[in-house]
């Protein structure tokens, strides 16, 4: 006889990853962290009031720490087993978020840099594309365990991508934005020929990863690769093992 018992403790079930959202109004397309159709699994969202891209990028989130911590805690109370964010610059809050929530936190795509570096052959290193290179400094790199001499190229010299995100504009020309991200990739290739892989800081850049990889011919890692990996640890794939062990929450079946 099959026993079907459930254990509670959450409000929402089946969504392991909680995503801290900046308070924005720019358009988000599939591939962007803030577009729910990006993810091949359910996610929970929580908007952090007053958290604009400009404050996060230009002021390192000054004054927003308590709001991020409370929003993360709310996501955990509602059902998230792990937390991520919609901004690579938020890696500076990594330790605070993990300590406050008590669950795994994957705050920034930049956290992939040490792992990607370990994958590369001798003489090659990781390069970073970002929404604003001048603002991505030693504090951010140290927070994610990245070398301080990591090559960084930004899109701030373009007319669309950085302007729309930091200005929180209502419209974006995604074709133009793609060209600006590609231009940053070409600049990285020309200035740093030893770069053997890219990590995209900006959690809005994943829509351009496929094109970047095809154009440059090197691996590209973004928030999508990061959070898919993160989620796979929170909810490993069951390959059919007939275990009698039970999950922490949800349905459990036992013969």
Query: pLDDT 10s digit of each residue in the chain, 255 long?
Result: 567 888 888 889 999 999 999 999 999 999 999 999 999 999 999 999 999 999 999 999 999 999 999 999 999 999 999 999 999 999 999 999 999 999 999 999 999 999 999 999 999 999 999 999 999 999 999 999 999 999 999 999 999 999 999 999 999 999 999 999 999 999 999 999 999 999 999 999 999 999 999 999 999 999 999 999 999 999 999 998 775 454 554 444 333
pLDDT at residue number 1 = 58
**Cβ distance 107 to 84 under 8 Å?**
yes
Q: Name the E strands within the chain.
A: 3-7, 17-22, 43-48, 82-85, 105-106, 125-130, 152-154, 195-200, 220-221, 250-254
Domain ranges in the chain are 10-108+227-234, 109-222
Residues 6 and 228: their CA atoms lie apart, in Å, by 27
CB atoms within 10 A of CB 82: 21
**109-222 shares the fold of 10-108+227-234:** yes
Q: Which two tokens stand for residue 242?
A: 């007939």
State phi, psi for 230 to the nearest 5 degrees: -60, -50
Domain range 10-108+227-234, CATH architecture: 3-Layer(aba) Sandwich (3.40)
Domain topology for 109-222: Rossmann fold (3.40.50)
The size of the chain, in residues, is: 255
């Amino acid at each position: 006889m099959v026993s079907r018992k459930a254990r509670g403790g959450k409000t929402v079930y089946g969504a392991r990853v909680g995503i801290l959202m900046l308070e924005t109004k720019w358009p988000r397309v599939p591939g962007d962290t803030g577009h729910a159709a990006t993810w091949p699994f359910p996610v929970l969202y929580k908007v952090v009031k007053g958290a604009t891209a400009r404050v996060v990028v230009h002021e390192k989130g000054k004054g927003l720490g308590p709001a991020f911590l409370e929003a993360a805690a709310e996501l955990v109370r509602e059902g998230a087993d792990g937390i991520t964010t919609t901004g690579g610059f938020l890696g500076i809050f990594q330790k605070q978020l993990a300590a406050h929530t008590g669950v795994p936190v994957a705050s920034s795509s930049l956290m992939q840099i040490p792992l990607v570096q370990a994958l590369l052959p001798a003489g090659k290193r990781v390069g970073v594309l970002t929404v604003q290179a001048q603002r991505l400094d030693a504090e951010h790199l140290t927070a994610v365990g990245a070398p301080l001499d990591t090559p960084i190229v930004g899109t701030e010299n373009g007319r669309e991508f950085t302007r729309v995100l930091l200005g929180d504009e209502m419209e974006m020309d995604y074709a133009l934005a793609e060209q600006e991200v590609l231009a940053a990739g070409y600049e990285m290739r020309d200035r740093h020929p030893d770069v053997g892989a890219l990590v995209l800081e900006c959690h809005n850049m994943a829509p351009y990863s496929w094109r970047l990889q095809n154009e440059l011919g090197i691996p590209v890692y973004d928030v999508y690769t990061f959070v898919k990996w993160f989620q796979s640890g929170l909810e490993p794939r069951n390959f059919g093992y007939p275990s009698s062990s039970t999950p922490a929450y949800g349905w459990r079946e036992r013969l």
